[in-house]
């Protein structure tokens, strides 16, 4: 199923991505850098640890993984043919 979001024109998501980003809570320091940088609003802080709020608007930019100095974010690409697509490639 294809999903769109009026906040992000020209973008669509193919369902079936699953939880392709995970957080290693043991490593997470709760710095909230991932929350601040994520354009999709995918993270939240609960009990001083980052959690995935929703990956529905994830654009697979990997910024969260790069910004996390604790190396606590595990990013795997969604399975082939699913996830973020844009009309710009």
Over the window 29 to 58, marking each residue x when it contacts ligand SF4 by CB under 6 A and - when it does not, the resulting string is xxxxxx--xxxx-x-------x-------x
* 16: nearest Cα among 88, 86, 83: 83
**How many chain residues interact with ligand SF4 (CB under 6 A)?**
27
Around Cβ 66, how many Cβ atoms within 10 Å?
13
Is-contact 52 42, C-beta < 8 A?
Answer: yes
Residue 73 DSSP SS3: strand
- Tell me the closest approach of the beta carbon of residue 33 to ligand SF4, in angstroms: 4
Q: Which residues bind ligand SF4 (CB under 6 A)?
A: 21, 23, 28-34, 37-40, 42, 50, 58-64, 67-68, 70, 72-73
């Amino acid at each position: 199923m294809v999903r769109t979001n009026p906040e992000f024109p020209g973008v669509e998501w193919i369902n079936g991505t699953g939880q392709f980003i995970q957080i290693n809570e043991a490593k997470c320091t709760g710095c909230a850098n991932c929350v601040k940088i994520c354009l999709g609003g995918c993270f939240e802080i609960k009990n001083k640890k980052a959690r995935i709020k929703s990956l529905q608007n994830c654009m697979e930019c990997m910024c969260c993984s790069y910004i996390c100095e604790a190396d606590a974010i595990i990013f795997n690409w969604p399975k082939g043919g699913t996830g973020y697509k844009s009309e710009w490639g």
